[in-house]
Amino acid sequence: MNPFYMSLEFFAYILAELTVLFLGVSTLVGLAFEYLSDDTLRRWLSRKGWLGYFLGAALGAVTPFCSCSTIPMTVGLLRAGVPFGATMSFLLASPLLNPIILTMFWVLLGWKSCAVYGVVTFAAAMISGALLEAFGLAKDVRNVRVSGGAEEKATLPTFGGKLRRAFAGAWSDFRGVLPFVVAGVAIGAGIYGYLPADFVVGVAGPQNPLAIPAAAVIGVPLYVRAETVIPIAVALTQKGMSIGAVIALIIGGAGMSIPEMSMLAAIFKVRLVALFVCAVFLTASGAGLVFNLI
């Protein structure tokens, strides 16, 4: 297929998918908060120290979201007053860990790969949340209320009323990030249509001593789900790509994408977005090195 049409098809499909995902997930999150009080959520996730980061990562590990659809949930957690560090642990863990991903690892790459992947990514999510909070980056959150100052909202007696209010909030949030989404998807579509697959394998092959960080760098701009890229990873290993580079590509591609960076830029300042991207890159590179060592 002509690269232009591939790019155009990708742009239309991903933009439509992100629109549905954002509005759908954001509405569901808003509807959940209609029934779940902020105090209850804070009580579950506001544990001090490493327990809070553990619970944030655990919440991410049971939510089958891609990197972009974690954003509405992240906004909801911040608005509920969940600690910043625990929320960042959730944001990193959610697209990388869920039962479907771990099952695919087990079936296609073996139980050892499944165990190592789960432990490394879960630990990285906890550590990243702890470091970002320790560096005082909670002040780099914008456009959402991190804690305190919650206004009282009228109690709606019917499910329909709660659903309408949840969708209204989702639509308001989506309009704010739409320009970022369109710009990000356009860049991602260009990469998708014009970056040759042979180039990816050549740069991240076993002959390249920098294959793992190169694979992580290549993976980060792409918009892929881990469930999609794991079968591709098996084929890449059969073509001679090192397992460490493949893992780095999976984590880089699933943990961050240009559309997600664009969406995060609407709620985080540039410094925090850049450091979160660095956290994904280091997680991808570190996991790749661990896989090559074992």
| Residue 149 domain flag | no
| Residue 152 domain flag | no
pLDDT band for position 2 (50/70/90)? low
Q: Please state the domain count of the chain.
A: 1
For 92, the domain range is 3-144+159-293
| Residue 41 domain flag | yes
**Residue 282: per-residue pLDDT:** 92
**Residue 43: per-residue pLDDT:** 75
| Residue 107 domain flag | yes
- In this predicted structure, which of 85-89, 242-246, 272-276 has the lowest mean pLDDT? 242-246
**Residue 182: per-residue pLDDT:** 80
**Residue 238: per-residue pLDDT:** 64
| Residue 150 domain flag | no
**Residue 151: per-residue pLDDT:** 46
**Using CA atoms, how far apart are residues 182 and 190, in angstroms rounded to an integer?**
13
**Residue 254: per-residue pLDDT:** 78
Strands (E), the chain: none
| Residue 175 domain flag | yes
| Residue 172 domain flag | yes
Q: Are 67 and 95 in contact (CB under 8 A)?
A: yes
Count the alpha carbons within 13 Å of 84 in the hemisphere toward its beta carbon.
22
| Residue 46 domain flag | yes
